[in-house]
Protein backbone atom coordinates (compact mmCIF):
# COMPACT_ATOMS: atom_id res chain seq x y z
CA UNK A 1 0.00 0.00 0.00
CA UNK A 2 1.41 3.37 -0.94
CA UNK A 3 0.57 6.44 1.05
CA UNK A 4 0.27 9.08 -1.63
CA UNK A 5 1.65 12.42 -0.48
CA UNK A 6 1.48 14.07 -3.90
CA UNK A 7 -1.72 15.95 -3.03
CA UNK A 8 -0.14 17.31 0.13
CA UNK A 9 3.17 18.32 -1.39
CA UNK A 10 2.16 18.85 -5.04
CA UNK A 11 4.89 16.64 -6.51
CA UNK A 12 5.04 15.67 -10.19
CA UNK A 13 2.96 12.71 -11.28
CA UNK A 14 6.03 10.71 -12.24
CA UNK A 15 8.28 10.77 -9.21
CA UNK A 16 12.00 10.19 -9.40
CA UNK A 17 14.88 10.41 -6.99
CA UNK A 18 15.55 13.85 -8.51
CA UNK A 19 12.11 15.45 -8.15
CA UNK A 20 10.91 14.03 -4.83
CA UNK A 21 11.99 15.22 -1.42
CA UNK A 22 13.81 12.29 0.20
CA UNK A 23 11.99 12.81 3.48
CA UNK A 24 8.75 11.81 1.72
CA UNK A 25 9.60 8.23 0.73
CA UNK A 26 10.73 5.25 2.78
CA UNK A 27 12.89 2.19 2.12
CA UNK A 28 10.15 0.48 0.10
CA UNK A 29 9.39 3.53 -2.02
CA UNK A 30 13.10 3.88 -2.73
CA UNK A 31 13.92 0.22 -3.44
CA UNK A 32 10.78 -0.37 -5.51
CA UNK A 33 11.22 2.88 -7.44
CA UNK A 34 7.89 4.56 -6.70
CA UNK A 35 9.30 7.19 -4.33
CA UNK A 36 6.34 7.16 -1.96
CA UNK A 37 5.74 5.71 1.46
CA UNK A 38 5.28 1.97 0.87
CA UNK A 39 3.89 -0.45 3.44
CA UNK A 40 3.45 -4.11 2.37
CA UNK A 41 -0.16 -4.36 3.53
CA UNK A 42 -3.42 -3.75 1.67
CA UNK A 43 -5.11 -1.70 4.38
CA UNK A 44 -5.34 -1.07 8.13
CA UNK A 45 -6.96 -4.47 8.75
CA UNK A 46 -4.07 -6.29 7.09
CA UNK A 47 -1.58 -4.11 8.99
CA UNK A 48 -3.28 -5.09 12.25
CA UNK A 49 -3.17 -8.78 11.27
CA UNK A 50 0.57 -8.54 10.56
CA UNK A 51 1.14 -6.74 13.85
CA UNK A 52 -0.81 -9.41 15.72
CA UNK A 53 1.22 -12.20 14.09
CA UNK A 54 4.47 -10.50 15.10
CA UNK A 55 3.24 -10.09 18.66
CA UNK A 56 2.54 -13.84 18.74
CA UNK A 57 5.99 -14.48 17.20
CA UNK A 58 4.39 -15.99 14.08
CA UNK A 59 7.09 -14.33 12.00
CA UNK A 60 6.89 -16.63 8.99
CA UNK A 61 3.13 -16.04 8.62
CA UNK A 62 3.56 -12.26 8.92
CA UNK A 63 6.41 -12.27 6.39
CA UNK A 64 4.31 -14.37 4.00
CA UNK A 65 1.45 -11.85 4.08
CA UNK A 66 3.86 -9.00 3.34
CA UNK A 67 5.65 -10.90 0.55
CA UNK A 68 2.32 -11.79 -1.05
CA UNK A 69 1.31 -8.13 -0.88
CA UNK A 70 4.57 -7.10 -2.58
CA UNK A 71 3.80 -9.53 -5.42
CA UNK A 72 0.27 -8.16 -5.74
CA UNK A 73 1.48 -4.56 -5.79
CA UNK A 74 4.41 -5.30 -8.13
CA UNK A 75 3.42 -8.17 -10.44
CA UNK A 76 6.56 -7.71 -12.55
CA UNK A 77 8.72 -8.99 -9.68
CA UNK A 78 9.83 -12.61 -9.48
CA UNK A 79 11.29 -14.22 -6.41
CA UNK A 80 14.86 -15.45 -6.77
CA UNK A 81 16.77 -17.85 -4.57
CA UNK A 82 19.19 -16.53 -1.99
CA UNK A 83 21.72 -19.04 -3.27
CA UNK A 84 21.67 -17.32 -6.69
CA UNK A 85 22.49 -14.03 -4.98
CA UNK A 86 25.19 -15.62 -2.84
CA UNK A 87 26.84 -17.14 -5.93
CA UNK A 88 26.46 -13.98 -8.07
CA UNK A 89 24.39 -15.94 -10.60
CA UNK A 90 22.14 -13.05 -11.65
CA UNK A 91 23.42 -10.31 -13.94
CA UNK A 92 22.70 -7.26 -11.80
CA UNK A 93 23.57 -4.98 -14.70
CA UNK A 94 20.47 -6.32 -16.51
CA UNK A 95 18.22 -7.06 -13.51
CA UNK A 96 17.24 -5.02 -10.47
CA UNK A 97 17.51 -7.11 -7.33
CA UNK A 98 15.41 -6.02 -4.38
CA UNK A 99 15.85 -7.54 -0.93
CA UNK A 100 13.16 -7.52 1.77
CA UNK A 101 13.24 -8.72 5.36
CA UNK A 102 11.70 -8.00 8.71
CA UNK A 103 13.01 -7.59 12.22
CA UNK A 104 11.97 -10.54 14.36
CA UNK A 105 12.09 -8.70 17.66
CA UNK A 106 9.67 -7.26 20.17
CA UNK A 107 9.63 -3.99 18.27
CA UNK A 108 9.23 -5.35 14.76
CA UNK A 109 9.72 -3.55 11.48
CA UNK A 110 10.42 -4.32 7.82
CA UNK A 111 13.08 -3.05 5.46
CA UNK A 112 14.11 -3.07 1.80
CA UNK A 113 17.46 -2.79 0.06
CA UNK A 114 18.22 -2.75 -3.66
CA UNK A 115 21.25 -3.80 -5.63
CA UNK A 116 22.77 -1.19 -7.89
CA UNK A 117 24.18 -2.01 -11.32
CA UNK A 118 27.60 -1.42 -9.72
CA UNK A 119 27.16 -4.42 -7.38
CA UNK A 120 26.56 -2.42 -4.18
CA UNK A 121 23.44 -2.61 -2.01
CA UNK A 122 21.57 0.63 -1.29
CA UNK A 123 19.00 1.54 1.33
CA UNK A 124 17.05 4.52 2.54
CA UNK A 125 15.77 4.37 6.10
CA UNK A 126 12.28 5.75 6.68
CA UNK A 127 12.13 9.53 6.46
CA UNK A 128 15.93 9.86 6.66
CA UNK A 129 17.50 11.91 3.87
CA UNK A 130 20.66 9.87 3.37
CA UNK A 131 21.03 6.84 1.11
CA UNK A 132 23.49 4.29 2.46
CA UNK A 133 25.48 1.75 0.48
CA UNK A 134 27.03 -1.61 1.39
CA UNK A 135 29.24 -4.17 -0.26
CA UNK A 136 27.67 -7.10 -2.10
CA UNK A 137 28.19 -9.85 0.48
CA UNK A 138 26.95 -7.73 3.42
CA UNK A 139 23.37 -8.50 2.37
CA UNK A 140 23.54 -11.76 4.32
CA UNK A 141 24.50 -10.00 7.58
CA UNK A 142 21.93 -8.61 10.02
CA UNK A 143 20.88 -5.26 8.61
CA UNK A 144 21.29 -2.15 10.77
CA UNK A 145 21.67 -4.31 13.91
CA UNK A 146 17.93 -4.96 13.68
CA UNK A 147 16.61 -6.78 10.61
CA UNK A 148 17.27 -10.45 11.20
CA UNK A 149 14.43 -12.30 9.45
CA UNK A 150 14.57 -14.38 6.32
CA UNK A 151 15.69 -12.39 3.30
CA UNK A 152 13.36 -12.48 0.30
CA UNK A 153 14.96 -11.54 -3.00
CA UNK A 154 13.01 -10.22 -5.98
CA UNK A 155 14.17 -9.41 -9.49
CA UNK A 156 12.92 -7.49 -12.50
CA UNK A 157 14.54 -6.17 -15.65
CA UNK A 158 16.31 -2.87 -15.25
CA UNK A 159 14.65 -0.11 -17.24
CA UNK A 160 16.51 0.93 -20.37
CA UNK A 161 17.90 4.41 -20.28
- Whether 80 is covered by a domain: the verdict is yes
Note the pLDDT tens digit of each residue in 111-122: 999 999 999 999
Question: What per-residue confidence (pLDDT) applies to 64?
Answer: 98
Residue 15: inside a domain: no
Q: Strands across the sheet with 78-80, in order?
A: 78-80, 152-157, 95-103, 109-115, 121-124, 131-134
Q: What is the pLDDT at residue 106?
A: 75
**Would you say residue 3 lies in a domain?**
no
Q: What's the whole-model pTM score?
A: 0.90
Does residue 10 form part of some domain? no
The pLDDT of residue 115 is 98
The residue ranges of the chain whose pLDDT is under 70 are 1-13, 161
In a domain, 144, yes or no: yes
In a domain, 5, yes or no: no
Distance CA 155, CA 4 (A): 24
Number of domains making up the chain = 1
Q: Which domain holds residue 113?
A: 43-157
pLDDT in tens, 39-63: 999 999 999 999 999 999 999 999 9
Q: What is the pLDDT of residue 103?
A: 96
Give domain status of residue 18, yes or no. no
At residue 3, the pLDDT reads 54
Flag whether 115 is in a domain.
Answer: yes
Query: How far is Cα 84 from Cα 68, in angstroms, rounded to an integer?
Result: 21
Amino acid sequence: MFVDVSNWYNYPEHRTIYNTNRHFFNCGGYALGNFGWYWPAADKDEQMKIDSLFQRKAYHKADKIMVNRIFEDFPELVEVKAEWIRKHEIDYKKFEIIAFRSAHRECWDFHFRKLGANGRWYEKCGGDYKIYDYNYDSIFDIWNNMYNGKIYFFARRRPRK
